[in-house]
Amino acid sequence: MSSGGAGGAWVRVSGVSRHLLLGFAAELIGVTVIAYHWGELWLPAAVAVAIGLAVAGRWLVVLGSFALSYLLRGRESAPRSLGPGGLCRLVGEELWSVTKLFFVLHPLAPWLDRPDPPPASRHGMPVLLVHGFFSNGGFWWSVKRWLSDRGISNLYTVNLEPVFADLDHMSMQLNHRIEQICTASESDRVILVAHSMGGLVCRAYLRSVGARRVAGMITLGSPHHGTALAGLLPGHSVSQMRRGNAWLTTLEKEEKHTDLVPTRNLYSRHDNIVVPQDSAVLAWADNIPVDGVGHLSMAFTAGIKRQLGAQLADLSNGGVANRSGENQRSG
């Protein structure tokens, strides 16, 4: 995980960054050598082919996720039709988001993301941004810039590792990070903002540690009741995101006996990863549905950022319910 000390120390290279950098380098070199020697292409052309194939492979995964999310959608999810233009925009923005995240922001996170804000920016309630599965602090690059430009600059990130670790193990990493932030910022509490799997880690933290250090929570596209697509991958953390698994069932039961915090739950009725889409609904939270936003596009969509800004301001002022975003589009 990123330690990010009180002085805003530079984050070490996360496992996700390392895997992506090494994997892409091996992919690029291998395909380039094949295209150059056996395909008899000019070297720059061979490199271009390698890059193109790498991008195309990621795009095929995204397109497959949209196909599966449509086939496996629940009847109660039934999002409104976007029309041809809206559908193209939805898919196109998700493809562009995947390209930015997996070729730039995730692998280069150690150089793009400082896990702690500079001392001059440490005013107001600290906000800890918690990433999702196979991600790191780089996921929040665009969100951090947007919020900082609007005066919300006491922003921190965390890297939860290893990728396939037990979510309860990750919740203890989160606990360590929260205590670290409270010490660095001289604040008693933080606000948690979590994407996807990060929302489950935050709920596990609240169950284990309690709400003493948390003023409020915002979850984005979190599989609160699991996702059908988790059955396609191995790993402990993935198994805990499968529909109806024992860990999620126990978490939901034990939450009834723990202190909950004011929580805003933003979810997309066109999510291509949380399937069926109503699996993202959290009964005890203020649920704010949006349309026309893919799972990873949440990190870049203007409407989501506006919602985050509004909800953070509200939670910082005591957490009076603010559901102004319900049933809106997020363009």
Residue 12's pLDDT is: 65
Residue 40's pLDDT is: 83
Asked if residue 217 lies in contact with residue 284, where contact means CB atoms within 8 angstroms, the answer is no
3-state secondary structure of 133: coil
Residues constituting the chain? 331
Asked if residue 196 lies in contact with residue 133, where contact means CB atoms within 8 angstroms, the answer is yes
Q: Which of 109, 115, 105, 111 is nearest to 3 (CA)?
A: 115
Helix runs in the chain, H state only: 15-33, 43-71, 83-100, 109-112, 141-149, 167-185, 197-209, 236-239, 246-255, 302-316
pLDDT tens digits along 258-276: 788 999 999 999 999 999 9
How far does CA 139 lie from the centroid of its chain?
Answer: 7
3-state secondary structure of 264: strand
Asked if residue 223 lies in contact with residue 279, where contact means CB atoms within 8 angstroms, the answer is yes
Which portions of the chain are predicted below pLDDT 70? 1-12, 75-80, 319-331
- Report helix angle 141-149 to 302-316, nearest 10: 60
Pairing of strands 214-220, 155-158: unpaired
In this structure, what token pair is assigned to residue 308? Answer: 């985050």
DSSP letter for 323, please. Answer: -
Report pTM. Answer: 0.92
Residue 3's pLDDT is: 41
Residue 81's pLDDT is: 79
Q: Which of 193, 159, 162 is nearest to 176 (CA)?
A: 159
Cα–Cα dist 106/261, whole Å: 30
What is the dotted CATH code of the domain comprising 9-323+327-331?
3.40.50.1820
Cα–Cα dist 290/269, whole Å: 6
pLDDT tens digits along 207-248: 999 999 999 999 999 999 999 999 999 999 999 999 999 999
Phi and psi angles of residue 184, each rounded to the nearest 5 degrees, phi first: -65, -35
